[in-house]
Amino acid sequence: MRTAPRSQDLAHALRALAMDAVQQAASGHPGAPMGMAEMAVALWTRHLKHDPADPHWPDRDRFVLSNGHASMLLYGLLHLSGYALPMEQLRRFRQRGSLTPGHPEVDHTPGVETTTGPLGQGLANAVGMALAEKLLADRYNHDGHTVVDHRTWVFVGDGCLMEGLSQEAISLAGAWQLGKLTVLYDDNGISIDGPVRAWFADDTAARFRACGWSVIGPVDGHDVEAVDAALQQARRSVDRPTLVICRTTIGRGSPARAGTARAHGEPLGEAEIEATRAALGWTAAPFEIPPQIGAAWDQREQGAAAQAAWRVRWNDYRRDCPADADELERRLLGRLPEGFEIDWLRLLARTQQQGRTLASRKASQHTIAALAPRLPELLGGSADLTGSNLTDWPDCGAVRGGERGGRHINYGVREFGMAAVMNGLALHGGFIPFGGTFLTFSDYSRNAIRMAALMKRRVIHVFTHDSIGLGEDGPTHQPVEHAASLRLIPGLDVWRPGDEAETVAAWGHALMQADRPSALLLSRQNLPAQPRGPEQTAAIRRGAYVLSDRPQAVAVLIATGSELSLAMAAQQLLDQQGVPVRVVSMPSSTVFDRQDTAWRQAVLPPGPPRIAVEAGVTPPWAAYGCTAVLGLDRYGESAPGPELMQALGFTAAHLVELVRAEVARCPAGVPR
Amino acid sequence: MRTAPRSQDLAHALRALAMDAVQQAASGHPGAPMGMAEMAVALWTRHLKHDPADPHWPDRDRFVLSNGHASMLLYGLLHLSGYALPMEQLRRFRQRGSLTPGHPEVDHTPGVETTTGPLGQGLANAVGMALAEKLLADRYNHDGHTVVDHRTWVFVGDGCLMEGLSQEAISLAGAWQLGKLTVLYDDNGISIDGPVRAWFADDTAARFRACGWSVIGPVDGHDVEAVDAALQQARRSVDRPTLVICRTTIGRGSPARAGTARAHGEPLGEAEIEATRAALGWTAAPFEIPPQIGAAWDQREQGAAAQAAWRVRWNDYRRDCPADADELERRLLGRLPEGFEIDWLRLLARTQQQGRTLASRKASQHTIAALAPRLPELLGGSADLTGSNLTDWPDCGAVRGGERGGRHINYGVREFGMAAVMNGLALHGGFIPFGGTFLTFSDYSRNAIRMAALMKRRVIHVFTHDSIGLGEDGPTHQPVEHAASLRLIPGLDVWRPGDEAETVAAWGHALMQADRPSALLLSRQNLPAQPRGPEQTAAIRRGAYVLSDRPQAVAVLIATGSELSLAMAAQQLLDQQGVPVRVVSMPSSTVFDRQDTAWRQAVLPPGPPRIAVEAGVTPPWAAYGCTAVLGLDRYGESAPGPELMQALGFTAAHLVELVRAEVARCPAGVPR
């Protein structure tokens, strides 16, 4: 009969894997995994509910390693717990094509819940995941039926807590009373630049308490029993998220580097690894785990049992509440309701027929209101600009701590937090989150938008007040480079619709992209409806199409958003001058870029010169072969919108001039 | 003899101006100015040290309206205090060309210290200003000579405090022990979406205390005496910044709208303004100030006296410490030392001669080390990546609370805070701040970079790890779209130097741009030195130049940064194949864009096809006439850098193929 290994030895297994893998890669971060090893033992062997054989089991606890540079801790945990991550992959840490990249990547490694590395975002993702659990539990659990009941656990380091984003995340978690969220803080007092006290003197416990959190500790983060006890206590919290402060030593076990910044981001070196092995009493060879320790780590049996118990509950639920079971299942799979596309296309046709003059932000609100009733997964919100972004809809209710049933989130003035929480909602599953702010402030949330694109998650950003057309608020609020710069983020769809129909089309397209975030750039000011035949209406979703053609057109005018009507007006003036031009509406260049060559050439034929008009920076239009652009390569000004538009050259007359100059310079038919 | 008007009436003057100006503009935010009126009276008539006749007096107190939408409060204060802001300008609030834009803009309206509107940044700017004062006082005041001695005062609202950036700023202010920084919090419990308690439940006093601040209040923000007493107390703080919590009512005075979100962002309307006038007992016509009240507000006499007293001290200082006086004056004027340009050009020539192979981040560190001794205004720092960004230099010392003399700031993991604090340092004057992080995390600080460009301030961003070449850290850390997207920010210079000489050139150019921020994009990996003649070396500062030409070149290869050596290698291979090509190095397209047409055409002549190579997104190169680009329109991967570069196509052989295909498709000489 085998004696059970000590918890300490379980921790040493993680330490050994971390230092050996980093050494083998000659790159990586050994210090944090070695420092958090006991925290990980306490959580992963005693509390985390998961089924290594089925990383997608919907009622699993979520674990987020917010300090993603400690990736080897996570890979060690996944391997030892029994996920499909063989030792071979740990040996290939940070190598091309391995399942063990430098920072954890969701959908790449089984058991990784979110891609982390950019600090603070994992914590905010976790807040979104915990909120998702709470909202789904509120909605779908019924008396005698508990099918949604899991926790969210997060490891964070000093770095995450220095990031301002952490404040946005913890403030929201406190306000939402996310009792099932537990954060374990690896309080090792060291960041890359050295001992943190000179630049991070915060009383972190007091800060979290100030935000409505329950705080436990500091506990000895190297005492598995102490961490275990703290987690037990955390689980009893009802309406407060919990911070467990674990006092640890970075690089714990390394005689020469423990407790120093040198443990952070480079291999320990062969000699120091040998010394560490000796100090830990760890005799196994690199990448070898003694069988008893491996057995103690293996969570497959417990995981299967946990899921089996849930399956029983789920089957009862499916029997007693079939409609809810279907809906929840559909939502968790990320599938739109049967018939969604048809509903959307009907709405689009109806909208086109109505021909209303509306700001596209208002058109967006109408679209949301029309689609939301049949899309319970749609969860709106705004960073304290609800009445400006128009992200709410009738009877949407508000998400509030201690209340149930709301579908619109007041994120407060927290653009980055909103975006990162939305990523967490989307990662958890069951929701299509969307959130609004002014387009300029997409700068604040930019890296979270990028992360949604990198992670291929359906998150919809509603960015209103999309140009100098917003007027009086002035240059701080007037986007100039933002549309162009969002279009550069790989995997993000950017829409700038020109009227209500294009707005409906953009929303539908965004909702149907299950593996892609979208940004909708919307006007503050009214936009007239454009006439379209059914084929044109259908073509909006191709990103660009011919809105108004002329036989023997001698030039092509490409327009987006609020400048579409300007292009149409210019076309009319040019008609009078005997200069026939085609108007192409390009509400989404990113979607257009994915169309087949035939479509792209049909819309933008070789030959006639192309002129673009968009109230933003001009150079990117060269990529569409435009030789002239009516745009804006400077900051705006504070003035009434229409006056400003005119003063900065956005007039049909000016556009006509540009077109005529190009036509004169480059007659149609000359090959480009 | 006139009786002095009550403080209350001084406040009502601000209220009246705010509601009347917003009404006249039919746009703006009356609620915050009306709510903060008494706070403003207490500060501006009893504490703020300033000279309305000379807004540039160096030893003035700095006032920052972080909640910039309350701009009418500031315009009212400036007008009433006696700045060159006539009533005529207040009547033209938010109109084109007026001195009263929607949000306060520095250098546009006398007395405005920073451009605010994007929330949280004003607070962080103020932290930078207060740090600047402290560092200058430490350096230049001597026994018996106090020439730097002013305070920094900030108004913030709930919105600023919800932004995560506020946490970064207050944490730094606490760590730096900025005792002369006082923040007045307009605690009105209302944000745009309504009563904040549902989304902003923080105990703000506790949060600030947790960060080393002294907290006073809540006091009645409508009681001038109470606010005055709090400010008196704040002034006694030595090494803790102070938060004064002022409990106020938004839109105070408006019978129907006070205390509601409706007071926030729209005119009150004629009827409500009349009701407010009646309630306040304010009988003066719109834009009229009763003479007694105007006289009580006028601070010109006190301001002149304050400056006169300082001039006496300054003259003594100039007499006793002439070298320091000269240096301080030079620094405050933002002038580089005599001979700087010559020194720089010598360093450049020497560097070119040395021909070292170095990572450009290392080249940057050498440059800093070479230039810093003669540039005491240079103040470095890093967002906790000092050893990776290489922003420190020998004997630079560290900026620490309670210590003196350091010139390098450990900002902690606070990229946005770093950028916004640097803006504050630059706005204060006396410093050229630079700060480092990884290029990907420029996303976190993006709006502060934009604000530096909008405000035309010399702030230098050192962004290292500038491409997939960084290797193992993987796609979260590998910039792809960042170089291109920074280049879109109007007024920002972006440099991506290809070797040590170009790095030296970039640094010198950045330092010489007194009214422009710069971003230096630097490699983690080594870059070989390129050969250059003296004219070529001198031409680097033009942004792009011919690095290596061939007679009858049939194509032009444009390269930046680490891909420059790839272009040079491709040129050699093409030579062997009888395909002569020109290599253009373009370390800064933004600088190149400002060169005269002759230069631009000489570098990029019409005719031969152009092919660009840069490890980043490709579409922007169309603006330089490139018909093919070796770039990267997808996210990177975790793998060793050289392997990854090769796997993703960055090889000389691949570049050769591209060039040959373009030459075949588009023979030189055909007009473009």
pLDDT at A670 over 70: no
Q: Which domains does chain A have, with CATH numbers?
A: 7-304 (3.40.50.970), 340-527 (3.40.50.970), 541-665 (3.40.50.920)
Q: Can you give the three-state secondary structure of B532-581, one letter per residue?
A: CCHHHHHHHHHCCEEEECCCCCCEEEEECHHHHHHHHHHHHHHHHCCCCE
Determine, for residues A162 and B172 on separate chains, whether the beta-carbon distance falls below 8 Å: no
- A:604-643 residues touching chain B, CB 8 A cutoff: 617, 619-620, 622-623, 625, 633-635, 637-640, 643
Is A260 in CB contact (< 8 Å) with chain B? no
pLDDT in tens, A431-464: 999 999 999 999 999 999 999 999 999 999 999 9
Q: How far is CA B143 from CA B146, B148, B309, in A?
A: 8, 12, 18
Determine, for residues A102 and B617 on separate chains, whether the beta-carbon distance falls below 8 Å: no
- How many Å is the Cα radius of gyration of chain A? 28
Chain A residue closest in CA terms to B99: A638
pLDDT in tens, B105-142: 999 999 999 999 999 999 999 999 999 999 999 999 99
User: Which residues in chain A are contacts of B171 at CB distance < 8 A?
Assistant: 162, 200-202
Instruction: Tell me whether the omega of the peptide bond preceding residue B619 falls within 30 degrees of 0, making it cis.
Output: no
Residue of A571, A588, A550 lying closest to A653 (CA atoms): A571
Determine, for residues A202 and B192 on separate chains, whether the beta-carbon distance falls below 8 Å: no
Rama region for B374: left / alpha / beta (φ>0; ψ in -120 to 50; rest): alpha
What is the edge-to-edge ordering of all strands in the sheet holding A152-156? A62-65, A152-156, A181-187, A242-247, A214-220
Note the maximum CA span of chain A: 97
User: Which residues in chain A are contacts of B175 at CB distance < 8 A?
Assistant: 198-201
Determine, for residues B196 and A412 on separate chains, whether the beta-carbon distance falls below 8 Å: yes
**Is the Cβ–Cβ distance between A403 and A239 less than 8 Å?**
no
Which residues have C-beta within 8 Å of that of residue B213, sequence separation ≥ 6? B170, B173, B174, B240, B241, B242, B243
Is B27 in CB contact (< 8 Å) with chain A? yes
User: Which residues in chain A are contacts of B119 at CB distance < 8 A?
Assistant: 413
pLDDT at B151 over 50: yes
Q: What is the pLDDT of residue B378?
A: 98
Which single residue is written with the structure tokens 């129907």? B256
Q: What is the pLDDT of residue A666?
A: 79
Q: What is the mean pLDDT of chain B?
A: 97
CA dist., res. B173 & res. B34, Å (int) = 29
Q: What is the pLDDT of residue B2?
A: 55
Residue of B593, B435, B514, B494 lying closest to B107 (CA atoms): B514
Which single residue is written with the structure tokens 């031969």? B608
**Is the Cβ–Cβ distance between B310 and B147 less than 8 Å?**
yes
- 3-state helix, strand, coil split of chain B in percent (to 5) is 45, 15, 40
Could you give the residue ranges of the DSSP H alpha helices within B116-219? 121-140, 158-162, 164-175, 204-210
Query: Residue A264 in 3-state DSSP?
Result: coil
B541 labelled ligand-binding: no
**Is the Cβ–Cβ distance between A458 and A517 less than 8 Å?**
yes
Is B558 in CB contact (< 8 Å) with chain A? no
For A410, the closest of B166, B198, B643 (CB atoms) is B198
Backbone dihedral angles phi then psi of residue A17, each to the nearest 5 degrees: -60, -40
User: Which residues in chain A are contacts of B481 at CB distance < 8 A?
Assistant: 450, 485, 488-490
Amino acid at B576: Q
Q: How far is CA B305 from CA B49, B309, B315, B364, in A?
A: 10, 6, 15, 46
Helices (H) and strands (E) in chain A, counts: 27, 20
pLDDT at A668 over 80: no
CA dist., res. A131 & res. A137, Å (int) = 10
B524 labelled ligand-binding: yes
Q: How far is CA B263 from CA A391, B40, B246, B286, B330, in A?
A: 21, 19, 18, 19, 46
Q: What angle do CA A319, A325, A326 make, to 5 degrees?
A: 115
Residue A164 structure tokens? 């301002």
Residue B567 structure tokens? 């272009």
DSSP label at residue B441: G
Q: What is the pLDDT of residue B415?
A: 98
pLDDT at B446 over 50: yes
A94 labelled ligand-binding: no
- A:217-246 residues touching chain B, CB 8 A cutoff: none
pLDDT in tens, A205-264: 999 999 999 999 999 999 999 999 999 999 999 999 999 999 999 999 999 999 999 999
User: Which residues in chain B are contacts of A475 at CB distance < 8 A?
Assistant: 101, 105, 454
User: Which residues in chain B are contacts of A117 at CB distance < 8 A?
Assistant: 473-474, 476-477
CA dist., res. B507 & res. A57, Å (int) = 54
Q: What is the pLDDT of residue A1?
A: 44
Q: How far is CA B37 from CA A126, B41, B71, B132, B161, in A?
A: 41, 6, 12, 29, 20
Residue of A118, A179, A127 lying closest to A154 (CA atoms): A127
Half-sphere exposure of A342 (CA within 13 A, CB side): 3
Alpha carbon B604 to chain centroid distance? 33
Q: How far is CA A554 from CA A432, A583, A626, in A?
A: 44, 11, 14
CA dist., res. B400 & res. A190, Å (int) = 16
- B:518-557 residues touching chain A, CB 8 A cutoff: none
User: Which residues in chain B are contacts of A450 at CB distance < 8 A?
Assistant: 443, 481
Which residues have C-beta within 8 Å of that of residue B111, sequence separation ≥ 6? B50, B52, B55, B74, B78, B81, B83, B85
Is B168 in CB contact (< 8 Å) with chain A? yes
For B477, the closest of A117, A163, A412 (CB atoms) is A117
B188 labelled ligand-binding: yes
**What is the arithmetic mean of pLDDT over A76-88?**
98
Determine, for residues B210 and A211 on separate chains, whether the beta-carbon distance falls below 8 Å: no
User: Which residues in chain B are contacts of A451 at CB distance < 8 A?
Assistant: 476
| Active site positions of A, annotated | 415
Residue B167 structure tokens? 């946490």
**Torsion sign over Cα B107, B109, B114, B117:** negative
pLDDT band at A667 (very low <50, low <70, confident <90, very high): low
Closest-CA distance of chain B to residue A155, Å? 17
ipTM of this predicted structure: 0.98
Which single residue is written with the structure tokens 């407790």? A259
Q: Are strands A555-559 and A181-187 parallel, antiparallel or unpaired?
A: unpaired
Q: What is the mean pLDDT of chain A?
A: 97
pLDDT at B277 over 50: yes
For B384, the closest of A97, A191, A625 (CB atoms) is A191
pLDDT at A672 over 50: no
CA dist., res. B278 & res. B270, Å (int) = 12
Closest-CA distance of chain B to residue A230, Å? 23
Instruction: Tell me whether the omega of the peptide bond preceding residue A110 falls within 30 degrees of 0, making it cis.
Output: no
Closest-CA distance of chain B to residue A591, Å? 15
Q: What is the pLDDT of residue A27?
A: 95
Whether B415 sits among the annotated catalytic residues: the reply is yes
For A474, the closest of B102, B163, B617 (CB atoms) is B102
**Is the Cβ–Cβ distance between A365 and A388 less than 8 Å?**
no
Across the A/B interface, how many CB contacts are shorter than 8 Å? 335
Is B158 in CB contact (< 8 Å) with chain A? yes
Backbone dihedral angles phi then psi of residue B533, each to the nearest 5 degrees: -80, 170
pLDDT band at A39 (very low <50, low <70, confident <90, very high): very high
Which residues have C-beta within 8 Å of that of residue A481, sequence separation ≥ 6? A616, A617, B450, B485, B488, B489, B490
Which single residue is written with the structure tokens 């609100």? A365
pLDDT at A669 over 60: no
User: Which residues in chain A are contacts of B382 at CB distance < 8 A?
Assistant: 193
For B164, the closest of A167, A196, A206 (CB atoms) is A167
Is B56 in CB contact (< 8 Å) with chain A? no
Query: Among B415, B500, B502, B563, which one carries the catalytic annotation?
Result: B415
Residue of B292, B275, B300, B227 lying closest to B9 (CA atoms): B292
**Torsion sign over Cα B106, B112, B117, B122:** positive
**What is the arithmetic mean of pLDDT over B409-426?**
98
Q: How far apart are the first and last CA of chain A?
A: 82
Chain A residue closest in CA terms to B173: A199
B245 labelled ligand-binding: no
Q: How far is CA B610 from CA A658, B361, B368, B568, B599, in A?
A: 26, 29, 35, 15, 17
Residue of B301, B299, B246, B290 lying closest to B12 (CA atoms): B290
A222 labelled ligand-binding: no
For B412, the closest of A68, A162, A443 (CB atoms) is A162
**Is the Cβ–Cβ distance between A96 and B644 less than 8 Å?**
yes
CA dist., res. B441 & res. B476, Å (int) = 9
User: Which residues in chain B are contacts of A209 at CB distance < 8 A?
Assistant: 203, 206
Percent of chain B at pLDDT above 90?
A: 98
Is B90 in CB contact (< 8 Å) with chain A? no
Determine, for residues B192 and A385 on separate chains, whether the beta-carbon distance falls below 8 Å: yes
Which of B166, B178, B197, B444 is the best substitution to test chain A (most A C-beta atoms within 10 A)?
B444
Neighbouring C-beta atoms of residue B426, cutoff 10 Å: 27
CA dist., res. A459 & res. A431, Å (int) = 9
pLDDT in tens, A616-629: 999 999 999 999 99
DSSP label at residue B285: P
**Is the Cβ–Cβ distance between A196 and A261 less than 8 Å?**
no
Query: Residue A263 in 3-state DSSP?
Result: helix
B395 CB-contact burial (10 Å; exposed 0-12 / middle 13-18 / buried 19+): exposed
CA dist., res. B410 & res. B385, Å (int) = 9
pLDDT in tens, A454-509: 999 999 999 999 999 999 999 999 999 999 999 999 999 999 999 999 999 999 99
Closest-CA distance of chain A to residue B120, Å? 10
pLDDT at B54 over 70: yes
- B:434-493 residues touching chain A, CB 8 A cutoff: 440-441, 443-444, 446-447, 450-451, 454, 471-477, 480-481, 484-485, 488-491
pTM above 0.95, yes or no: yes
User: Which residues in chain A are contacts of B174 at CB distance < 8 A?
Assistant: 201-202
Percent of chain A at pLDDT above 70?
A: 99
Backbone dihedral angles phi then psi of residue B424, each to the nearest 5 degrees: -65, -40
pLDDT in tens, A584-598: 999 999 999 999 999
CA dist., res. A356 & res. A291, Å (int) = 71
pLDDT in tens, B615-625: 999 999 999 99
**Torsion sign over Cα A101, A107, A112, A118:** positive
Neighbouring C-beta atoms of residue A576, cutoff 10 Å: 8
Determine, for residues A638 and B101 on separate chains, whether the beta-carbon distance falls below 8 Å: yes
A361 labelled ligand-binding: yes
**What is the arithmetic mean of pLDDT over B286-306?**
98
Which of B191, B443, B451 is the best substitution to test chain A (most A C-beta atoms within 10 A)?
B443
Q: What is the pLDDT of residue A671?
A: 39
Percent of chain A at pLDDT above 90?
A: 98
